[in-house]
Amino acid sequence: MNNMLPAELATELSVLLGAEGWRTDDGALEANAQDNSWRHQRPAAVALPTSREQVQALVRACRRHRIALVARGAGTGTTGAAVPLEGSIVLSFARMDRILSIRPGDRCAVVEPGVLNGDLQHALSAHGLFWAPDPSSADICSIGGNLACNAGGPRAVKYGTSRDNVLGLVAVTGSGDIIQCGGAYTKDATGYDLTHLLVGSEGTLALIVEATLKLAALPVAQAGLRVLYRDADAAAQAVSRVMGQPVVPTRLEFMDARSLQLLRLNGADVADAGAMLLIEADGDHDTLPYLLQALATAAEGDGMLALDVAMEGAAREKLWAARKALSPALRSVAPGKINEDVVVPVSRIPELVAGVQALAREHDLTIVTFGHAGNGNLHVNILYHPDDADENARAHAALPKIFALTLALEGTLSGEHGIGLAKRDFMAQAFTPETLAAMRAIKAALDPDGILNPGKVLPTAACPRPAAAVTAGSTIDGNHRARP
């Protein structure tokens, strides 16, 4: 595939990066061909720089040749943001994986983008600290990928998402410039906020080569509540009550009736109910009982059926086991899953859940809804058999209606997965043409030749001056692989 690149460029980059850093062998191309969206496209080459200077040289060389550069962390994203374009170069941060410093006194850490979230958490725990983002892939996803996609997780309701927990960045723009913004401080009114702009931009504006992360202190103790409700409406009312009082839960997870049925079918110890909330608090041994009491009081109300308190240890593990069992249980229904992560205002959760079930009936599909209710961020899982052409078509016909429903409820497309390719074509429904034009103008400002991950995030017209590799006609959009 290397012959898809200009020979001069390939030579320059192989000299720049050396044999370990410039890979065109089948193994490397295949290993970097897809993410967890199961879209598949081999790149022309894989670059594995070890320094910001190498990243800068790489960007400048690609810019000269108008070759697209697709940044990649650990490839755990679900939207295709890290899937190569035909003829593009994947820039893997796998070799920029150093934790540069942990500064407990400043409650921050400075890392390279290739550090795995789990490895960082392990290193931080020795200092009694943690970094808030906890996506389910935490053990194997990279910090750079978390920042690129603004990853969240259940803990975000109290501690925020990736964007809320980054203090400063060093990045290489599409112009080939190294920019530096923010730092080891938590308050900043100095110039434009490039830091938060780059978070969630999925490698389309600049490539993050160093991040200063905001840390939090590990709580001494955690405990949870399991609360059953008559229906989704009663549970959603409780979510509003919980979020309206001063004690912020560490997690506030919702499961709809389908989720609970599915768990019971799979043998989990869950009572029959219309909906369930799992609510967690953290604190210390002195204060935790009071915090739990405040949360329990808020959780109580019309339509509540039962409330169990699970203090630390085995009881708490058991409580969360149901949540953890849910993803494998989905597979027992059907091998295909469209897992969206829409967001609505908390007060609109009942309408979302009811609307999704109406769509399930209309399209004769099983749709299971659960997720991070405290943020109004619900995972809507359409389950289907990919080999069943009719069901497959019904599933993909329901998807745009779920987005339309979400937007009609004042919500938005993604809370923590990002846009990538999967949701790119729905962006024109989520934003006005003027707002998209502003985003395109910013893309053009930081990546004037459109070489950074072109065709992602913004609808196709978004690529101001498409890179050569893009106009060559990528086919990745339709190039899905079956999941194993």
Stretch of 12-20, 23-31, 43-51, 214-222 contacting a second copy, by CB under 8 A: 214-222
As a whole number of angstroms, the distance between CA 366 and CA 359 comes to 10
Nearer to a second copy, 112 or 416 (CB): 416
Strand 45-47's sheet: what is its strand order? Answer: 22-23, 45-47, 89-92, 69-72
Stretch of 44-52, 182-190, 313-321, 388-396 contacting a second copy, by CB under 8 A: 182-190
**Minimal distance, residue 386 CB to a second copy, in Å:** 26
Number of residues that bind a second copy (CB under 8 A): 98
- Which residues from 276-295 bind a second copy, rule CB under 8 A? 282-284, 286-287, 290-291, 294
Q: Which residue has the tokens 């679900």?
A: 78
- Which residues from 375-394 bind a second copy, rule CB under 8 A? 375-377
**Minimal distance, residue 220 CB to a second copy, in Å:** 7
Q: Does 475 bind a second copy (CB under 8 A)?
A: no
**Minimal distance, residue 463 CB to a second copy, in Å:** 14
**Minimal distance, residue 161 CB to a second copy, in Å:** 6
Among 205, 257, 275, 281, binds a second copy (CB under 8 A): 205
- Which residues from 35-54 bind a second copy, rule CB under 8 A? none
**Minimal distance, residue 351 CB to a second copy, in Å:** 13
State residue 415 phi and psi, 5-degree precision.
Answer: -100, -25
**Minimal distance, residue 240 CB to a second copy, in Å:** 4
Nearer to a second copy, 33 or 243 (CB): 243
Among 271, 393, 437, 461, binds a second copy (CB under 8 A): 437
Nearer to a second copy, 4 or 275 (CB): 275
As a whole number of angstroms, the distance between CA 372 and CA 29 comes to 36
- Which residues from 57-116 bind a second copy, rule CB under 8 A? 103-108
Q: Does 271 bind a second copy (CB under 8 A)?
A: no
Nearer to a second copy, 342 or 360 (CB): 342
**Minimal distance, residue 134 CB to a second copy, in Å:** 13
Q: What angle do CA 154, 318, 370 make, to 5 degrees?
A: 40
**Minimal distance, residue 180 CB to a second copy, in Å:** 6
Residues 6+ apart with CB under 8 A from 474: 41, 85, 86, 87, 455
Nearer to a second copy, 111 or 419 (CB): 419
**Minimal distance, residue 99 CB to a second copy, in Å:** 17
**Minimal distance, residue 305 CB to a second copy, in Å:** 22
Residues 6+ apart with CB under 8 A from 314: none
- Which residues from 217-246 bind a second copy, rule CB under 8 A? 217-220, 240, 243-246
Q: Does 6 bind a second copy (CB under 8 A)?
A: no
Stretch of 18-26, 261-269, 408-416, 473-481 contacting a second copy, by CB under 8 A: 408-416
**Minimal distance, residue 424 CB to a second copy, in Å:** 10
- Which residues from 127-156 bind a second copy, rule CB under 8 A? 128-129, 149-152, 156
Nearer to a second copy, 97 or 425 (CB): 425
Nearer to a second copy, 14 or 429 (CB): 429
Parallel, antiparallel or unpaired: strands 89-92 and 45-47: parallel
CB distance 249 to 283 below 8 Å: no
- Which residues from 442-461 bind a second copy, rule CB under 8 A? 442-446, 457-458
Extract the tokens encoding 140.
């194997």
**Minimal distance, residue 339 CB to a second copy, in Å:** 14
Stretch of 188-196, 226-234, 251-259, 472-480 contacting a second copy, by CB under 8 A: 188-196
The residue length of the chain stands at 484
State residue 213 phi and psi, 5-degree precision.
Answer: -100, 140
- Which residues from 346-375 bind a second copy, rule CB under 8 A? 346-347, 372, 375
- Which residues from 312-341 bind a second copy, rule CB under 8 A? 341
